[in-house]
Amino acid sequence: MAALAVIRRRAGRWALNGAAGVALAYILLPLIFVVWLAFFRQEIPSFPPEGYSLRWFAAILDQRKFVDGFSLSFQVGVLATGVGLLLGVPAALCLARRNFTLRGPLANLLLMPIVVPGVVLGTAMYVFQVEVENGLDVDVLGTFYALVAGHIVIVIPWVVRLVTASLSGVDRATEEAAQNLGANPWVTFWRITLPAIRPGIVAGALFGFVTSFGNLEMSLFLVGPGRTTLPIVILQYLEWKIDPTIAAVSVVQIVLIGTAMLITDRYVKLARVV
Amino acid sequence: MARLDLHGLSKRYGDFHAVREVTLEIDDGEFLVLLGPSGCGKTTTLRMVAGFIEPSAGNVRLAGQDVTQLPPWKRNAGMVFQSYALFPHLTVAQNVAFGLEMRKLPRADINKRVDEALALVRLGGYGGRLPRQLSGGQQQRVALARALAIRPDVLLLDEPLSNLDAKLRQEVRVEIHELQHQLGLTTVMVTHDQEEALTMADRLVVMNEGSVRQVGTQRDLYERPADRFVAGFVGRSTFLEGAVEAPGRFRTDGGLALACSGSGSGAKSGRGVLALRPERLQVAPAPITGLDNGLPGTVEFVSYLGALIDIHVRLSPADRLVVQIANREGGFAPEVGQSVHVSWPASAGLVFTE
């Protein structure tokens, strides 16, 4: 009987490890192939590779549209993240701390942009911007700021969600203690609450930025002539060519985002907030 | 330090009265304990003093000044929270310095007062640690040092010992009490633990359902409880239901006629209860002469507590009471089913009429 129990326990552990391995492989295999492909020497991707080279990484810099796309995506991401924080952190505070009638629906509404399909969001944004343009008689559609405005909408859910999560771990009594010791609500926020929710803010900013940087569907509706974000540049390039330049661009993105996460994780344990 | 006066303090949430008309005068240097079961309004009262809850009516005067309308950060009240509420990202010294920085003291004075406060709670040398690196008892003392450093007009303690284990609780209890006397701190503590309340307080306030039921010293509450609730909450009582026949004469529903001369026994008639402290009763194989009441009964249940033994004795189909005896070597130790006599002097019987 005892032996049977041991076998059962081992079988259970193997089954669990096996399932985890399959899931991990499912996620990682495409990434591994993309990275591998980026180093192929031949132009047409085929297996096995004829040899390896770094020429496709050099090819990125030869094409201005990749550099410009990267630059635009970076600027939009940074700006959208900044404004998203300014709007999202107070919103999270309000949702977590205040009790009002429409709190539940409002919380769901603020998380909606990452649930709604990007194409739907893009269409809605497009129609809205056209209406605003017609109504106010100013240039909106296709401008840099209209693109940023759209991206702010997809940054906010991450900020709200992660800041709300870290707020739930803050002992309200510490804020009362600060007030009891002579700190007004403003000082209490800066000296006590903000340091306590810093991990949530950093993580929210990071994930918001990554979402904005990688966004394709919504951006397709909002970009103007001569203003193309990196994911759109990649898509347009793929319509004409399938050489490993795209794989190289992807590798650069993966490395940048991965580095950002590792650096962030040194200061704020992401596993604790996400 | 200063005196604290609460006058007609009330808090209503809709139809619910959390606190009703609490009026208390706390002297300079006095240690007052608010005692009561959870939900009795004691914490709400304390939080109104600290300014976290706005009273529906009444006022709070601290050091002669009406502070009812002042926000918490403008009242000079030092509070120790149940969870200690230490700032997790600040060191022990920074925690203690926080209130002094808010008062914009010069850096040199702040450092001096932080050192003093930490020395006072025997945590000198711990200033550089983070709260999470300290034990529960040490965290509790940091919270106390932080509240004392601002030299508050009143020290407010919200169940400060409830997160400590039993042994540590006794130590910290003595420490807080000594510190309070040494510094002459006007102190208000909230607790539901009557042992804690009895050992620390100069004066106690028993609260229930939002109202003050009785204010007095330990002896007042124990010997002369104001009502049935206090008699049951402070110490223990067995209650026998019945009616007053004449002053000093109580007849239980089970038909027993009992002599009583304790508080409340001057009532002339009416339904009520007779309260008896288990430790004021005696149990023996035969009636004890010289005591006013002596009744035969049967032991129904024995609860062995170590130093003490509780004996539940049935006197009549409707009357059962508890006798507490010391667990002495060779003493009388009745067993379940045994016939015994329970005796007590008339002065042990307290009467509460409805």
Domains (ranges, CATH) in chain B?
A: 4-228 (3.40.50.300), 237-353 (2.40.50.140)
Measured between CB atoms, does B42 come within 8 Å of chain A? no
CB-nearest to A182 from B73, B82, B83 is: B73
Query: Coil, strand or helix: which one is A10?
Result: helix
The average pLDDT across B92-104 equals 94
Tens digit of each residue's pLDDT (9 = 90 or more) over B170-212: 888 888 888 888 888 899 999 988 888 888 899 999 999 999 9
Please list the alpha-helical segments (H only) found in chain A.
2-37, 55-62, 64-97, 103-111, 118-136, 144-167, 172-180, 185-188, 194-214, 217-222, 230-240, 245-267, 270-273
Q: Which helix (H) or strand (E) holds B190?
A: strand B187-191
DSSP 8-state class, residue B247: T
Q: Which residue has the higher pLDDT, A269 or B303?
A: B303
Rounded to a whole number, what is the distance in Å from the CA of A233 to chain B's nearest CA?
45
pLDDT (0 to 100) of residue A256 = 85
Q: Which residue has the higher pLDDT, A173 or B265?
A: A173
Structure confidence at residue A272 as a pLDDT band (50, 70, 90): low
Chain A residues lying within 8 Å of B145, measured CB to CB = none
Q: Is residue A52 part of a domain?
A: no
Q: Which residue has the higher pLDDT, B50 or A129?
A: B50
Contact B52 A182 (CB under 8 A): no
Structure confidence at residue B24 as a pLDDT band (50, 70, 90): very high
Q: Which residue has the higher pLDDT, A125 or A63?
A: A125
- The answer on pLDDT for B157 being more than 80 is yes
The average pLDDT across B266-290 equals 87
pLDDT (0 to 100) of residue B229 = 92
Contact B73 A183 (CB under 8 A): yes
A169-178, B29-38, B145-154, B259-268 — which is least confidently predicted? B259-268
CA dihedral B117, B120, B126, B130 (to 10 degrees): -60
- The two three-digit tokens of residue B16, written as one number: 């619910």
DSSP string, B123-135: -TT-TTS-GGGS-
Chain B residues lying within 8 Å of A201, measured CB to CB = none
pLDDT (0 to 100) of residue A270 = 67
Chain B residues lying within 8 Å of A178, measured CB to CB = 87, 98
- The two three-digit tokens of residue A175, written as one number: 């804020």
Measured between CB atoms, does B104 come within 8 Å of chain A? no
- The answer on pLDDT for A23 being more than 80 is yes
Structure confidence at residue A159 as a pLDDT band (50, 70, 90): very high
Parent domain of A172 = 60-273
- The answer on pLDDT for B254 being more than 80 is yes
Nearest CA among A121, A141, A144 for reference residue A218:
A121
Chain A residues lying within 8 Å of B104, measured CB to CB = none
pLDDT (0 to 100) of residue B5 = 93
In angstroms, rounded to a whole number, what is the distance separating the alpha carbons of residues B285 and A56?
104
Q: Is residue A13 part of a domain?
A: no
- The answer on pLDDT for A1 being more than 70 is no
Chain B residues lying within 8 Å of A192, measured CB to CB = 87
Q: Is residue A29 part of a domain?
A: no
Q: Is residue A12 part of a domain?
A: no
pLDDT (0 to 100) of residue A262 = 87
CB-nearest to B72 from A174, A180, A196 is: A180
Nearest CA among B146, B188, B141, B177 for reference residue B28:
B188
The average pLDDT across B144-164 equals 90
The average pLDDT across A94-109 equals 86
In angstroms, rounded to a whole number, what is the distance separating the alpha carbons of residues B339 and B297?
6
CB-nearest to B73 from A171, A179, A191 is: A179
A259 exposed, middle or buried (CB, 10 Å; 0-12, 13-18, 19+)?
A: exposed
- The answer on pLDDT for A274 being more than 80 is no
User: Which chain B residue is nearest to residue A184, measuring alpha carbons?
Assistant: B73
Q: Which residue has the higher pLDDT, B67 or A266?
A: B67
Q: Is residue A24 part of a domain?
A: no
Contact B89 A180 (CB under 8 A): no
Structure confidence at residue A63 as a pLDDT band (50, 70, 90): confident
Structure confidence at residue B70 as a pLDDT band (50, 70, 90): very high
The average pLDDT across B71-96 equals 93
Chain A residues lying within 8 Å of B99, measured CB to CB = 181-182
Measured between CB atoms, does B85 come within 8 Å of chain A? yes
pLDDT (0 to 100) of residue B276 = 92
pLDDT (0 to 100) of residue A138 = 79
Q: Is residue A119 part of a domain?
A: yes
Residue A80 sits in a domain whose CATH number is 1.10.3720.10
pLDDT (0 to 100) of residue A30 = 86
In angstroms, rounded to a whole number, what is the distance separating the alpha carbons of residues B24 and B22?
6
DSSP 8-state class, residue A52: B
- For A120, half-sphere exposure in the C-beta direction (CA atoms, 13 angstrom radius) is 6
Mutual angle of helices A194-214 and A245-267, in 10-degree steps: 180
Q: Is residue A48 part of a domain?
A: no
Nearest CA among B72, B143, B86 for reference residue A184:
B72
Measured between CB atoms, does B54 come within 8 Å of chain A? no
* β B154-158/B187-191 pair status: parallel
Contact A177 B82 (CB under 8 A): no
Tens digit of each residue's pLDDT (9 = 90 or more) over A223-246: 877 788 888 888 888 888 777 788
Say how many CB pairs under 8 Å bridge A and B. 60
Whole-number percent of chain B with pLDDT over 90:
60
Q: Is residue A191 part of a domain?
A: yes
Measured between CB atoms, does B79 come within 8 Å of chain A? yes
Measured between CB atoms, does B52 come within 8 Å of chain A? yes
- The answer on pLDDT for A46 being more than 80 is no
- The answer on pLDDT for B12 being more than 90 is yes
The average pLDDT across A113-137 equals 87
Tens digit of each residue's pLDDT (9 = 90 or more) over B44-67: 999 999 999 999 999 999 988 999
Number of structural domains found in chain A: 1
pLDDT (0 to 100) of residue A220 = 84
CB-nearest to B83 from A171, A178, A191 is: A171
Asked if B347 contacts B261 with a C-beta cutoff of 8 angstroms, the reply is yes
